[in-house]
Chains A and B, each alone.
Chain A
Amino acid sequence: MKPPLFNDLTRACPVWLGDPGGLDAVVFSSHVQLARNIQGFLFPGREETSRRLTVMDLIKNVITQGPDGDDFQVIDLAAEDPVNRQILTERRLIDWRGCAGKPGGSLCLNNDKHVAVAINQQDHIVLRAARPGLNFEGLWKNATAYDDAFCEQLPIAFDQTLGFLTADPDNVGAGLLASVIIWLPGLVLSDQMRGVIQAAKELQIHVQGVFGEGTQALGHVFDVSIQSRLGDTEEEVFRRLDTICRHLTEGERAARVRFANARPDDLTDLVGRAFGVLSHARLLSTQEAIGALFALRLGVVTRLFTRLDIASINHLIMSSQRGHLSFDHPHADSADSRRALRASLVRTVLEKVA
């Protein structure tokens, strides 16, 4: 029998694909990540297994004994099977740095999937909270409620001068990573992305493709993030990221309009080709599927393609990824069988609306 948690997880649209209602959404989601460690233990990478297990128990207890403890499920990452691990990666709930996949590596996941606490990754605690859209204020309130619980109940490694002590000295101080997932097809198609990445670099803002790197980012989805430096307050970090995202949103909207007006044939061609590939291909790689599905999504938001809604496309984007596909179809155990399956999955949905 399939574990109900993963069954639930693969059905729902992940937070990072944003609110499917917002047709003109540029920022899909906002994320904060806080790194904390417990005094008296070595960082996970140096700590011995039995003591890592003690750390896990301590942290798990703070969460499950908390006011909404019943809303959390604990996933033992070391024991989890590879398909389920892949699903967690595809849903951007975990990265596998540090000891995440070793004994003691766990993930406490909130039922609404907006809060995830990774235990024994690079740091003892990596608290992740996410919200659709650009909303750091609400997100920060949400995250600090959990951070308060950790700080009140566990002796967190903290130095009066240096702040929160983390395994990576670059992250010392606030121990914060703030990021947004942002969709910039207009800027990419009108060749402005190189400038954006260059400018961001100068502002110490990190831009990377969610699927693939740099300006070649598949689907034109980017992860824009700021890691706090010593002396940064959390509010400053959020303000900087919020400001740049507002600029990017404005630029992206203008670029979409300009592109649609100046090169209408290019836009229609892009969407039409994607539709052609998705509705007729018999073999689809993940890359091809994701690229075409986001192109179709662009068709939806520019009202060129109205037969599917954003939610259905988001669902296809997720279910055509390797982990999700293998979860629903365990017999598809080779890349070739998955390519055939992916194509038929997408084709079936498109045939219904054709």
Chain B
Amino acid sequence: MKCDRCKTETATIHLTQITGDEVVSVNLCPACAQQAGFEETAHHQANVLSALKLFARKAGANPHVAVDQPLEPALKGRRCQMCGTTGENLARDGLLGCPACYQTFADKLKQDFQRFHRHMRHHGRGLTAVDSNLFARSLERAKLRETLNHAVQMEHYEEAAKIRDRLFSLEHGVEKGDER
């Protein structure tokens, strides 16, 4: 490993300071370390971090400053098949990508729930079954309206007219059925 400051000599002095989540490390050759008055300050452990930063500025070096928290094993290599959210994503912004993520990251979430939540089971308001036919029809209409908007925006009026007719028959087909 080369010295962070002169970039030519081999670094033999490696200093790392971990404060909370922050890891700062500097690698120096003996000559640069002495020049920077580093040996002295290094004795004062409490000041190492600020000394490191000060030195980095003085020397114009760019020490490797990493906010590097090792990923929990329960998150490592996990990736949701449904939405592509990874363990890294979850660790970074604390958000899941889709309902299926609750299975993908079940181990990690279980740990969190045990730590932070009161129970492992929902006790609040429940859910009544949804009429799946009804929803299938609303979904189809929603998608058609979206395509219609798009067609109008793109000035594909012929296509838009077809979609409009299809929407109309969907919206009124149910009523016709009732009359019969």
- Using CB atoms and an 8 Å cutoff, list the residues of chain A in contact with chain B: 37, 39, 41-43, 45-46, 50, 53-54, 57-58, 61, 122, 144, 147, 151-165, 167-170, 172-174, 176, 228-234
Contacts and interface: CB of A to CB of B under 8 A. Distances in A.
Given A58-B138, A231-B120, A231-B123, 16 more contacts: A43-B97, A46-B85, A50-B150, A54-B142, A57-B146, A61-B141, A151-B128, A152-B128, A154-B130, A160-B122, A161-B120, A162-B121, A169-B102, A229-B117, A229-B118, A231-B121
A101 to B, nearest CB: 17
Given A169-B112, A229-B116, A161 B121 contact: yes
A37 B132 CA distance: 16
The B interface, classified by DSSP as helix, strand, loop or mixed, is loop
Contacts of A229: 116-118
B13 interface: no
Contacts of A174: 122, 124-125
B124 A163 contact: yes
**A-B complex: 8 closest residue pairs judged by Cβ atoms:** A231-B119, A163-B122, A174-B124, A230-B117, A46-B97, A57-B142, A157-B99, A42-B98
Contacts of A153: 130, 134-135, 138
A151 B141 CA distance: 19
Interface residues of B, number: 41
B127 A151 contact: yes
B37 interface: no
A39 B145 CA distance: 20
B90 to A, nearest CB: 8
Contact of B127 (A158, A169, A176, A231): A158
B94 to A, nearest CB: 7
Given A231-B118, A231-B122, A42 B83 contact: yes
A61 B118 contact: no
Contact of A155 (B84, B98, B123, B135): B135
Contacts of B118: 229-232
Nearest to A123: B95
12 contacts: A42-B98, A54-B146, A57-B146, A153-B138, A156-B127, A159-B102, A160-B122, A162-B121, A167-B96, A176-B124, A229-B116, A230-B119
B157 interface: no
B109 interface: yes
Nearest to B121: A161
A233 B124 contact: yes
A41 B159 CA distance: 26
Contact of A173 (B83, B85, B124, B149): B124
Most buried by A among B97, B113, B127, B134: B127
Contacts of B122: 159-164, 172-174, 230-231
Given A162-B102, A165-B99, A54 B143 contact: yes
B65 interface: no
B95 A154 contact: no
Nearest to A235: B124
B66 interface: no
A158 B146 CA distance: 26
A43 B82 CA distance: 11
Contacts of B150: 50
Contacts of A169: 94, 96, 102, 105, 109, 112
Interface in B56-110: 82-85, 94-99, 102, 105, 109
Nearest to A173: B122
A154 B120 CA distance: 26
Nearest to B112: A169
Contacts of B146: 50, 53-54, 57
Nearest to A166: B96
